[in-house]
């Protein structure tokens, strides 16, 4: 079967001035302008594909340049031949020996590949008139395995093991799909806990999140232990108090919050240090926050330090605090080692730090084999739109469970997308159902025109006022 040919592509450096409001601030990243290194693939037909990688401002132009180098490998290729084996298509994107040298499979070249691979998957889903998650869960186990990146991880999971796992879950897919469409996918909120917010804003946003149905909350920590403890107590005083629950709600007690240090209403608090500590420092700092009963500490140290994470997990386990990481784990091999070393309690994939859907699938499969829940990172522009698809794939086709899982939600910048994600009254993600939306990452043209760096209308006006 032959299809349209990929003819050309466009890239856009889109930056939003979130540093003005303190959105996205944490102990490491104190000045964040949420940004999108954005690509559209065009074909000889009307079929297109959109993708992006997230950054926080300066350097976004470097990623856009790398995207151009990677995407050029797809020009002239037949779309149906690419769709027939997305694992082989992923291998092709990574196979340029000179580009590979400046990775390999990490850094700018890898996240650029993520944008391109995501755009190809978006195109594939649009060609089949399905949302991305539906395209993947409708695949046979054999098709899904062939779409997955397996190089360098067969010491942790083989194709044969993955195939057996997927076949085991095959019978229940329809029931799980119906269930998640009815209930929504569990979410947690980060928007209340940014480090740059005042205590009053933290309290107000926390109350709003509780009333919206959320029962998992995350706050940023790491700049000052006394301040973190104070802010944590403010959040705990609200989320543990039944008076702030939605009318008719008695909280979220049950198996989904067991072992998560949940309070009397079933509310769960997580903390995130964004890599600021050395290993011994992380252990002592987190122990000092034991009073606010965190479920886990996220990114306690350097994201590549597998043994460091294992040491932190071992030291904090007697205190009932787990370890999570993954938003800066730059490829499937890092996740492989984190899982093999029993270094994490929660696996946090990033939709475009990894090199697109094909590599994400490999991590979902490994996490399912090791019995570690996947709670994706989504703190950034476009990431919530992306990751609901990945969590649906995990639940329906791979792990078969969403009992322990929660997917990050931040209430920022969704208005810039044609198919924005949404949350229901129970604090859960709604399932994307529009047949035209693909991977849900298509951006409004007027948003690109306004916020493209450096000549978008917003940035031209901003420079004129300085």
Residues annotated as catalytic (active site), given as ranges: 220, 377
Say which residues have a Cβ less than 8 Å from residue 75's Cβ, sequence separation at least 6. 6, 7, 8, 9
The answer to whether residues 375 and 405 touch, using CB atoms and an 8 Å cutoff, is yes
Nearest C-alpha neighbor of 405 from the set 216, 220, 218, 225:
216
Q: What is the largest CA-CA distance in the chain?
A: 64
* 8 A C-beta contact, residue 377 and residue 352: no
List, in sequence order, every beta strand (DSSP E) within 87-205.
185-189
CB 199 within 8 A of CB 228: no
Is omega for the bond preceding 202 within 30 degrees of 0, making it cis?
no
Q: Can you name the residues that pair with 38 across neighbouring β-strands? A: 12, 52
HSE toward the beta carbon, residue 109, CA cutoff 13 A: 16
Assess contact for 338 and 329: CB atoms under 8 A: yes
Residue 334 CA from chain centroid, whole number: 16
Helix, strand, or coil (residue 346): strand
How far is it, in rounded angstroms, from Cα 452 to Cα 460?
Answer: 10
Provide the CA 384 distance to its chain's centre, in angstroms: 7
H-helix or E-strand containing 217?
strand 216-220
Distance of CA 340 to the CA centre of its chain: 22
């Amino acid at each position: 079967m032959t299809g349209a040919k990929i003819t050309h592509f466009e890239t856009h450096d889109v930056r939003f001035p979130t540093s003005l409001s303190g959105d996205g601030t944490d102990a490491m990243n104190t000045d964040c302008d949420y940004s999108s290194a954005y690509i559209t693939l065009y074909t000889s037909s009307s079929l297109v594909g959109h993708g992006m990688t997230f950054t926080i401002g300066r350097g976004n132009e470097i990623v856009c340049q790398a995207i151009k180098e990677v995407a050029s490998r797809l020009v002239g290729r037949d779309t149906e031949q690419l769709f027939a084996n997305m694992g082989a298509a992923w291998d092709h994107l990574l196979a340029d020996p000179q580009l590979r040298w400046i990775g390999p499979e990490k850094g700018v070249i890898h996240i650029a590949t993520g944008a391109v691979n995501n755009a190809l998957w978006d195109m594939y889903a649009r060609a089949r008139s399905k949302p991305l998650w539906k395209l993947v869960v409708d695949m046979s186990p054999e098709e899904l395995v062939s779409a997955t990146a397996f190089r360098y991880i067969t010491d942790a999971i083989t194709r044969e093991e993955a195939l057996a796992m997927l076949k085991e879950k095959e019978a229940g897919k329809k029931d799980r799909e119906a269930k998640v469409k009815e209930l929504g996918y569990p979410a947690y909120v980060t928007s209340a806990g940014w480090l740059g917010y005042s205590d009053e804003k933290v309290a107000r946003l926390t109350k709003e999140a509780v009333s919206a149905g959320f029962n998992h909350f995350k706050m940023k920590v790491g700049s000052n232990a006394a301040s973190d403890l104070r802010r944590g107590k403010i959040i705990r005083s609200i989320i543990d108090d039944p008076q702030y629950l939605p009318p008719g709600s008695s909280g979220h007690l049950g198996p989904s919050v067991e072992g998560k240090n949940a309070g009397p209403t079933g509310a769960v608090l997580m903390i995130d240090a964004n890599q600021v500590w050395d290993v011994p420092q992380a252990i002592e700092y987190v122990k000092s926050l034991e009073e606010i009963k965190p479920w886990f500490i996220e990114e306690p140290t350097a994201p590549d330090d597998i043994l460091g994470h294992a040491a932190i997990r071992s030291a904090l386990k007697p205190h009932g605090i787990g370890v999570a990481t993954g938003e800066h784990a730059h490829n499937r091999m890092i996740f492989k080692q984190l899982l093999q070393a029993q270094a994490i309690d929660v696996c946090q994939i990033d939709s475009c730090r990894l090199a697109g859907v094909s590599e994400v699938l490999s991590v979902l499969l490994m996490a399912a084999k090791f019995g570690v829940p996947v709670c994706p990172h989504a703190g950034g522009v476009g990431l919530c739109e992306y990751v609901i698809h990945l969590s649906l794939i995990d639940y329906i086709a791979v792990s078969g469970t969403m009992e322990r899982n929660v997917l990050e939600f931040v209430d920022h910048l969704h208005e810039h997308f044609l198919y924005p994600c949404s949350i229901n009254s129970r604090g859960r993600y709604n399932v994307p159902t529009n047949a035209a939306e693909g991977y849900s990452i298509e951006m409004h043209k007027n948003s690109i025109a306004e916020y493209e760096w450096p000549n978008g209308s917003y940035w031209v006006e901003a420079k004129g006022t300085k």
